[in-house]
Structure 1
Amino acid sequence: MSVQSREVEYFDGAVRMVGFVAFPEAPAPRPAVLVAHMWGGREAFVCDKAKALAELGYVGFALDLYGEARVGSGPEENARLMQPFLEDRALLQRRMQLALAAVRRLEMVDKERVAAIGFCFGGLCVLDLARTGADVRGVVSFHGLLKPPGNTQGNRISAKVLVLHGHDDPMVPVEDVVALERELTEAGADWQVHVYGHTMHAFTNPRANDPSLGTVYHPVAERRSWLAMRNFLEEIFSS
């Protein structure tokens, strides 16, 4: 399937965000999938995921949390870029809502059929989008951080939730997984958690190769998780 792509501006006040949209050359409107980036920013990794989603027949939209499509140069700068959003989850949630509004404005998008996926930090972002009660069909977290934000207690979660997690992820202990399951149940969510054995953090990222940090690419888990996402999207967009 032939795919087109372009950048899309949207704003948080004076802060300019630059998303990347990929879409099939086929009759519109089509379901859309937001793609939330890792701590390094709107890198090629998430733009490639947006293109892969377009090849599946969706509109893929790699969002920009940091503004100006800023990308960190390495772990130290990545952490500096991400930290304000971990400290201010309301800011994170607002940026996610703005990205959702931006994708709904696109002429090729079926505004009633939108989902979101995210990787690592982006997994936390899409879970927070669901936690706000956002009107999206579903969210998928790939090796995401799971800690609750502290400002969404009592909210109902209407989005279906799929969490794809490596059992040996040192950044997300089993206790966090159990706590998330309890949180989603109490919020009335339709949820699934897929746990991959012998799998660490960042298992979908071919550049992850630091066992001491707990970030290791796992091609089998990557393949299984992408297939799980495909099945999930087919289900939530079918009605």
Structure 2
Amino acid sequence: MTIETRTLGTTHDGAQLEGVLAFDPAAGPRPVVLIFHSWVGRADNEVAVARRMAELGYAGFACDLYGKGVLGTNKEECAALMNPLMADRAGLQSRLLHWVDVVRALPEVDGDRIAAMGFCFGGLCALDLARTGVDVRGVASFHGLLGAPGNREGTSIKSRVIAFHGWDDPMAPPDHVTALGEELTRAGADWQIHAFGGTMHAFTNPRAADPESGLLYNPVAANRAWASFEAFLAESLA
């Protein structure tokens, strides 16, 4: 298997965006997994996950939600990039749907078999994509923010939903987990929430090492979550 990557540009609401597709050129059109980035922006980590998706037999697409080449370098910059999208969830959802349309049309992709996943802010993006009611097969949130957007109550969720959550995550306390389950039930979703005890925010990130702020890598939880995610993809994209 030879994995190739190519960069694609697009424009949404005046923003120049740039995504990265990872694929096996010999495989023909493959089911695709969209990867939504953390509050930093689309960086090497998301491209690495896209490549990992291709190695599993899918195509992977690392989506840019901020703008071509835009990355935060510290907490203040990351917050300044993320907060406008958090404050305009309808606008964020429009951008997510735009990427679905772009990726669905790619010749390397089976446009009828699309899934999405994300980390932290990207986990919220994956959930918000499902909340739009778009016809994708499944979405996965890894230590994502869980709060409902407030503009999609009454919308049926068509995709399967899975969330991987650290029970000790201060950014998504237990009442947020319960609220998400209740929200997904009202929307008629096929949903799962995997909560890991003794686990904080960013538990899949080996660089997370600030327990006083609730950020800590947990390799056991990360491995368990990834194994469950692979099973979820196999079921959703079959």
Q: TM-score range by the shorter chain?
A: over 0.9
- The answer to whether the 8 A contact 1:163-1:193 is kept is yes
Q: How many residues align?
A: 238
**Per-residue deviation, 1:25:** 3.1
Counterpart in the other structure of 1:92: 92
Counterpart in the other structure of 1:21: 21
Counterpart in the other structure of 2:39: 39
- The answer to whether the 8 A contact 1:19-1:69 is kept is no
Counterpart in the other structure of 2:147: 147
Distance 2:13 2:121 in 1: 23
Where in structure 2 are there 5+ consecutive unaligned residues?
A: none
- The answer to whether the 8 A contact 1:10-1:17 is kept is yes
> Once the two structures are superposed, what CA deviation does each residue of 1:27-73 show, in whole Å capped at 9, x if it has no partner?
21100000000000001111111111111011100000101131111
Counterpart in the other structure of 2:82: 82
User: Structure 2 matches for 1:24-173, cutoff 5 A?
Assistant: 24-173=24-173
Counterpart in the other structure of 1:11: 11
> Once the two structures are superposed, what CA deviation does each residue of 1:105-151 show, in whole Å capped at 9, x if it has no partner?
21110000000001000000010000010110000000000000000
Runs (4+) of structure 1 exceeding 3 A deviation are none
**Per-residue deviation, 1:222:** 1.0
Structure 2 CA distance for partners of 1:98 and 1:69, relative to 1, 3 Å: farther
With the length of structure 2 as denominator, give the TM-score of the two structures.
Answer: 0.98
> Once the two structures are superposed, what CA deviation does each residue of 1:3-22 show, in whole Å capped at 9, x if it has no partner?
00011111114311000111
- The answer to whether the 8 A contact 1:145-1:171 is kept is yes
Counterpart in the other structure of 1:183: 183
Query: In structure 2, the residue corresponding to 1:45 is in which secondary structure?
Result: helix
Query: In structure 2, the residue corresponding to 1:206 is in which secondary structure?
Result: coil
What amino acid is aligned across from residue 90 of structure 2 in structure 1?
A: A
What amino acid is aligned across from residue 181 of structure 1 in structure 2?
A: G
**Per-residue deviation, 1:189:** 0.2
What amino acid is aligned across from residue 101 of structure 1 in structure 2?
A: D
> Once the two structures are superposed, what CA deviation does each residue of 1:178-207 show, in whole Å capped at 9, x if it has no partner?
000000001000000011111100011111
Query: In structure 2, the residue corresponding to 1:212 is in which secondary structure?
Result: helix
- The answer to whether the 8 A contact 1:132-1:155 is kept is yes
Query: In structure 1, the residue corresponding to 2:203 is in which secondary structure?
Result: coil
- The answer to whether the 8 A contact 1:11-1:98 is kept is no
Distance 1:44 1:212 in 2: 27
- The answer to whether the 8 A contact 1:85-1:92 is kept is yes
What amino acid is aligned across from residue 109 of structure 2 in structure 1?
A: V
What amino acid is aligned across from residue 66 of structure 2 in structure 1?
A: Y
What amino acid is aligned across from residue 116 of structure 2 in structure 1?
A: A
Identity of aligned residues (%): 52
What amino acid is aligned across from residue 177 of structure 1 in structure 2?
A: V
